[in-house]
Amino acid sequence: MALSSERLFDSLGHFGRCCGVALLYHCLRCDGQTGKEKHTHSVPYFKCTDLCFNYVHTSGLQYINYFSKYGWKIFNRCGIWPYISLHSRTVPNNCKITCCWKWKHDVPCRKCGCSFLCISEKRLDFHATWQLKKKGCACPWTAGRLAGCAENHTLFPQLPVLSEKVRFFFLCLCILEMAAPKVAVVGAGVIGLSTALCIVEACPSCSVTVLSDQFSPNTTSDVAAGMLIPHTYPGTPIHMQKQWFKETFTYLFAISNSAEASEAGIHLVSGWQIFRSTPKEELPFWSDAVLGFRPMSEAELQKFPQYRFGQAFTTLKCDCPPYLLWLEKRLKAAGVQTYNRKVSDLWELHSEYDIVVNCTGIGAHQLVGDKKLFPVRGQVLKVYAPWVKNFIRDGDGLTYIYPGIHGVTLGGTREKESWSLSPNPDTTKDIFDRCCSLEPSLREAQDIKVKVGLRPSRQSVRLQREVLSQGGVKLPVVHNYGHGAGGFSVHRGTAKEAARLVGECIAALRGSSPGAKL
């Protein structure tokens, strides 16, 4: 039954318009969302006859053309939902209809003059009860039935009798409060929090929740120094790593130069990366992304007599916990809730959330059984040595001195496949000695604290969509983990990409047939 919407409007005109509130009624389209014609299933769209609403409230329903689809622009607390297509009984958990004070009005039945009156108080859901008022016709209308009275008079008498597969809902309202897609981000390290932030930035109407069993200062990110010096992933194309790094650097650079810098823990730091023998690759892929990259002069190398070659540059550092706390603060301001919760299986979230984003870092080994993910244990010392203002890093990545806001991070180790989170005292001494040989003044460092973190290492960062399904129910998942030693360096770039993938999931959900969740 292909009915064109225009013909429907022509015939019905301003039916049911009253008190300036236009009656919303349905029209049939042939599976308009995908453009394919199906005769057995029709997806009802609700359209508004009157484009100019006279609402008291500023938010309201506006009929718009959104990417060649017609529908309402619904305003809710979070933002806008471009259009809605309502399916029978598929949205009970999501959709709530809030009435404005003007909603109460009579809607007359064309045929018998009975009028329909919505009797629910403030909030309605789709299963609202409607009652006929006049002429003793008081049949309640329950959801799922065709909009009509006991006399079987429908509001739209012109419409043919439709198959049972098609349901109609009758809406008479004003402000539809539509819950936007519910997104759960699992993991509250730098990847989880920055991904959640990118999602709300890209999709303000989304309802984002962060779930994690660990928050700052107990995440892997809190152990890291947060230096923006990229780690090379063998399995990810270099151009992509470069883009992620540049995006991250640009983002943090702007914050470092603003009044928020100290709260966010972001600051510039200059220093040297030194090599005992000239490396194969003298110009790393990120040399033009950092500031002032150049080889070290002879005079500078004299400070490190056992080293032959070096690179001097200026980069950024994200101190943790300040950076994570700042991200949490921004998330809260954007309406994102965080919950301390251990997720043992992503599927357990399918009933509460529409999309899950997996930012569990090393936890993914257990959570999704990714055997390609392995820990690289890192032990570091955090010391008080405020006279150290430059970073020093041995090109082998094992010995480094990174000055932060409240302490200097001395490192480190790279122990593959070691899962131990307990500090090793011999390692502590070894790290301290190695760092003191690079910077002798560290012998006077105070307040030495030891920390251990497990770098969630992988050949390539797992940044992709997946759809879990069980018994016909689907759960879209976006993975964003496996950043190994380079989490901070690329966090914003991967977070933005993950948010983009979430957007793809939302679009896929919208475009799906009845029975799928919105």
Q: Which residues bind another protein (CB under 8 A)?
A: 256-263, 265-271, 291-292, 294, 296-297, 299-300, 303, 312, 314, 319, 386-390, 403, 405-406, 440-441, 443-444
What's the Cα-to-Cα distance from 463 to each of 184, 228, 357, 469, rounded to whole Å?
16, 20, 10, 19
Of the pair 288, 504, the CB lying nearest another protein is at 288
Of the pair 314, 413, the CB lying nearest another protein is at 314
Residue 291 CB, nearest approach to another protein (Å): 5
Residue 248 CB, nearest approach to another protein (Å): 15
Helix runs in 143-291, H state only? 190-202, 220-223, 238-256, 261-264
Look up tokens 């709530």; give the residue: 96
Of the pair 129, 257, the CB lying nearest another protein is at 257
Of the pair 376, 401, the CB lying nearest another protein is at 401
Residue 15 CB, nearest approach to another protein (Å): 59
Look up tokens 């200062």; give the residue: 217
CA gap 96, 180 in Å, rounded: 11
Pull the structure tokens for residue 108.
């007359």
Of the pair 38, 294, the CB lying nearest another protein is at 294
Residues 378, 452 contacting (CB under 8 angstroms): yes
Residue 98 CB, nearest approach to another protein (Å): 41
Of the pair 408, 452, the CB lying nearest another protein is at 408
Residue 225 CB, nearest approach to another protein (Å): 13
Which residues 6+ apart lie within 8 Å of 430 measured at CB?
none
Residue 487 CB, nearest approach to another protein (Å): 21
Of the pair 259, 333, the CB lying nearest another protein is at 259
Residue 444 CB, nearest approach to another protein (Å): 4
Of the pair 389, 429, the CB lying nearest another protein is at 389
Pull the structure tokens for residue 201.
């930035």
Find residue 379's DSSP bridge partners: 452
CA gap 203, 465 in Å, rounded: 17
Of the pair 156, 323, the CB lying nearest another protein is at 323
CA gap 369, 91 in Å, rounded: 33
Residues 391, 403 contacting (CB under 8 angstroms): yes
Comparing CA positions, the residue from 162, 214, 160, 166 lying closest to residue 192 is 214
CA gap 188, 251 in Å, rounded: 20
Residue 271 CB, nearest approach to another protein (Å): 8
Residue 338 CB, nearest approach to another protein (Å): 25
Residue 228 CB, nearest approach to another protein (Å): 14
DSSP state of 308: -
| Cα pseudo-dihedral 257, 262, 264, 268, rounded to 10 | 50
CA gap 137, 148 in Å, rounded: 11
Of the pair 157, 386, the CB lying nearest another protein is at 386
Residue 4 CB, nearest approach to another protein (Å): 56
Backbone phi, then psi, for 467, in 5-degree steps? -120, 115
Which residues 6+ apart lie within 8 Å of 351 measured at CB?
none
Pull the structure tokens for residue 211.
């779930």
Query: How deeply is 466 buried, as exposed, middle or buried, from its count of CB atoms within 10 A (0-12, 13-18, 19+)?
Result: middle
Of the pair 317, 492, the CB lying nearest another protein is at 317
Look up tokens 């006049």; give the residue: 134
Look up tokens 């003059």; give the residue: 113
